[in-house]
Amino acid sequence: MASVIHYTIATEAEKYADFRRVLWTGKNTQLVIMTIPPGGEIGEEVHEDIDQILTFVSGTGEARISGSTKKVAQGDLVVVPAGTKHNFVNTGPNPLVLYTVYGPPEHADGAVHKTKEEADAAEEAGEDEPPTE
């Protein structure tokens, strides 16, 4: 039987300033924390076969999903169904900190990307692929 995997998630998310840090990867889901700097964004994307749930820990921003925009802040949760075009933008003066759950996993297990540029380069180089069975 597996041991309990436990995070005080808001504390964990606030602990790192990395753009993206994979905390845990399972067979069907993945837990990732992200920090988007002021004026930064995740970048417009579509995950064709992956659902994503994002919960905001601190900061303020905008969720841009399928042509609609909604303000987001601490305590908000946004669901992005598979196949949906989306982007999240930091519109505030402080980092926008969040955690997200992908189902199935989207990134390499244990991946840490300090900046969006580093994350984009890893993806383009094929170095940020989710684990295969």
- pLDDT per residue as tens digits for the range 29-79: 999 999 999 999 999 999 999 999 999 999 999 999 999 999 999 999 999
**What does the pLDDT read at residue 132?**
84
CB-based contacts of 8: which residues, under 8 Å, 6+ apart?
A: none
Stretch 14-23: mean pLDDT: 95
Residue-level pLDDT at 83: 98
Residue 1, pLDDT above cutoff 60: no
**Which of the two residues, 10 and 58, has the higher pLDDT score?**
58
H or E segment to which residue 92 belongs: none
For residue 133, is pLDDT > 80? no
Q: Which residues pair with 30 in a beta bridge?
A: 25, 102
Please count the CA atoms within 13 angstroms of the CA of 91 that sit on its side-chain side. Answer: 12
Tally of residues, the chain = 133
28, containing H or E segment = none
**What is the pLDDT, as a whole number, of residue 24?**
96
On whether the CB atoms of residues 57 and 128 are closer than 8 A, the answer is no
- Reported as a single tens digit per residue, the pLDDT across 108-123 is 999 999 999 999 999 9
* Average pLDDT of the segment spanning 72-91: 98
The predicted pLDDT at position 3 comes to 85
Place of tokens 């940020």: 128
Q: Which CATH architecture has domain 16-125?
A: Sandwich (2.60)
